[in-house]
Structures are given as C-alpha cells and as structure tokens.
Amino acid sequence: MDLLVQMQVKENNKNLAPLSPGEGDGYIVGSSPSGEWAQQAGKLAFFQDKRWVFLTPKIGWRVWINSEATLYVMHTNGWQSITNSGGATGQGDLIGSNGLDLHVEENDHIVTAGMYNDTALNIPSKSTVLAITGRVLTPLGGSRTWKLGVVGGEDRYGN
C-alpha cells in the first residue's frame, strides 16, 4: 500500500535494474528491459523487502519522477507529464490528490439575439463547480438581465 500512496520513482524509462537499490526505490521500466526486469516493460518496479515488486499501472495513476521533478499521469497512450496531458481544454489543467481532477475552463461567447444563448462549454454531469464568472463586454439591448447556468438550472450561477 505504501507504494501507491504519494507514488514517486527515481527515473523513467529505465531498462536495467540498478546494482545497489535502496529500500523503497522505484522506477518506470522502459520498453526493452533485461536482467531482473526482463518481461516487465512499462511496469512500475519498486525494491521492497530485498526484492523487486512490479505493478501494472492503471489509467489515472499519478507518479512523481524525481529525476525530472515532474508529475506524470497514466493515459491510454502511456505516461504523460501533466503539462502535456491535455484534458478539458488542454489549458490550465491541474491534477489534484486522491483522484480529484481540477480543470480551468475558459470560453469566449458572442451573445446573439434571442431568449437563450447556448455555449460550446459544457459542465459534465455531477461535477462540482468551485468558481464561475461571466462578464459582459458590450452593451446589451432589450432586457437588462442575464443568467448563467446549466440545463435545468438556468440561473444556478447568478443573474
């Protein structure tokens, strides 16, 4: 269990086990491992109780890579640093703890005539919104009010 909590490894893409590993040392095994790590490509290798323990990473696992001082997350196409992981908008994505994903969404929308203006920005079902803001940059004709919300709660975030 200790391996999975605050997971960190010394290096990424390592194909040979170190000669003198320390207790708890971890590595991401490369694509062409040999020796003690043969047949363990792509797995996480941890030295525990004087032997190597191998874990098959699951999508969503996060690991800190000490040699790069970078946090990585496992995607369908392998380990990616969070700065390259994409996500909701590909900008401003943050990876929280305990499986919590935080995303910063930004959307410019031109208001057109009519009672409603739908945007391309969608808030996923069962999401918790920590903060939201809307700003009108040009004068509105007709009604002097506007509402910011979601389907079924058109004024959930104010008016």
**Cα–Cα distance, 108 to 117 (Å, whole number):** 12
Last residue of a domain, one of 91, 125, 150: 91
What does the block give as tokens for 97?
């703890």
- Model confidence over 133-151: pLDDT tens digits? 777 777 767 766 767 777 7
The confidence score (pLDDT) of residue 34 equals: 96
**Cα–Cα distance, 25 to 3 (Å, whole number):** 10
- Model confidence over 40-96: pLDDT tens digits? 999 999 999 999 999 999 988 999 999 988 888 888 888 888 754 444 334 444 555
pTM here is 0.53
Kindly state whether residue 18 falls inside one of the protein's structural domains.
Answer: yes
Say whether both 21 and 86 belong to one domain.
Answer: yes
- Model confidence over 2-19: pLDDT tens digits? 666 778 999 999 999 999
Domain limits for position 12: 1-91
Say whether both 5 and 66 belong to one domain.
Answer: yes
Say whether both 72 and 19 belong to one domain.
Answer: yes
Per DSSP, the three-state class of 36 is: helix
* Range among 5-9, 24-28, 82-86, 106-110 rated most confident: 24-28
The confidence score (pLDDT) of residue 4 equals: 65
**Cα–Cα distance, 130 to 127 (Å, whole number):** 9
Kindly state whether residue 23 falls inside one of the protein's structural domains.
Answer: yes
Kindly state whether residue 97 falls inside one of the protein's structural domains.
Answer: no
Structural domains counted in the chain: 2
Kindly state whether residue 55 falls inside one of the protein's structural domains.
Answer: yes
Mean pLDDT value across residues 12-38? 96
Say whether both 78 and 118 belong to one domain.
Answer: no
Say whether both 50 and 19 belong to one domain.
Answer: yes
Say whether both 1 and 29 belong to one domain.
Answer: yes
67's CB contacts (< 8 A; 6+ apart) are 10, 11, 12
